[in-house]
Structure 1
Amino acid sequence: MIANYGFNATLTAKPRMGDRLVELLLTGLNEGSPGASEHCVVYLVSRSASDPDVVHVTEGWTSEEDHHRIFAREAAQAIVAQFAGMLAKDPEYTDYVPVRGKAAF
């Protein structure tokens, strides 16, 4: 499948909560979670090299509609509700249209 919609989210955790935030975001890859959907073709969780409480999530989806549909489900809403209490400030989002690239994990 090809990603036709994507975004990068920067999440700043409350002090010393970066590890917990990363662990929670990685549950998004579990069976039944958003990142496990066939419509999610990229789900990458990264840490800032200079601040362990800053976490970046890069997602690529088959379409914006698929992303919104999957994130309206209970599993995705549960993850969002949990990480909301860990954040020091509102997430910052940058949307994009993937052109071409490579991912090997």
Structure 2
Amino acid sequence: MRTKPGHRDDVVALLLDGEDGLRAAGCDLYVVGTSADEPDLVWVYEVWLSEEHHTASLELPETKAAIATAMPMLTGEFTGQQLDIAGGLGVPR
């Protein structure tokens, strides 16, 4: 996701604040990253127990509140890709 200039660190802090809720909702892996080459870009990698777990997490009050807080700091430019995970280090089997 792309942030408005000067808001990257605020968005990163907001994304990292919800780790415990994500785990409880069925998220196995959640990684937030940035790049020095693109200072307004934030990368989020997530591995969920299922697509249903992810969809349900979007309905949680704390998730809705975090999205509402983040939206004014974002440009609206989002990309995403869904994968079927075969396995790997850090991913439950």
Higher strand share: 1
1:51-90 pair list within 5 angstroms? 51-90=38-77
- Are the aligned partners of 2:30 and 2:45 in contact in 1 as well (CA < 8 Å)? yes
Q: Structure 1 residue 48: deviation in Å?
A: 1.8
The CA distance in 1 between the partners of 2:37 and 2:46, in whole Å, is: 22
**How many pairs does the alignment contain?**
91
CA-based RMSD: 1.7
Moved over 4 A (4+): none
TM score, norm. by length of structure 1? 0.78
The CA distance in 2 between the partners of 1:65 and 1:27, in whole Å, is: 22
Give SS of 2:38's match.
coil
- Are the aligned partners of 2:25 and 2:53 in contact in 1 as well (CA < 8 Å)? no
Q: Percent identity?
A: 31
Question: Which of the residues 15, 18, 22 maps onto 2:8?
Answer: 18
Q: Higher relative contact order by CA 8 Å / sep ≥ 6: 1 or 2?
A: 1
CA displacement, residues 48-76 of structure 1 (integer Å, 9 cap, x when unaligned): 23122100001111010111112211111
Query: Any gaps of 5 or more consecutive residues in structure 2?
Result: none
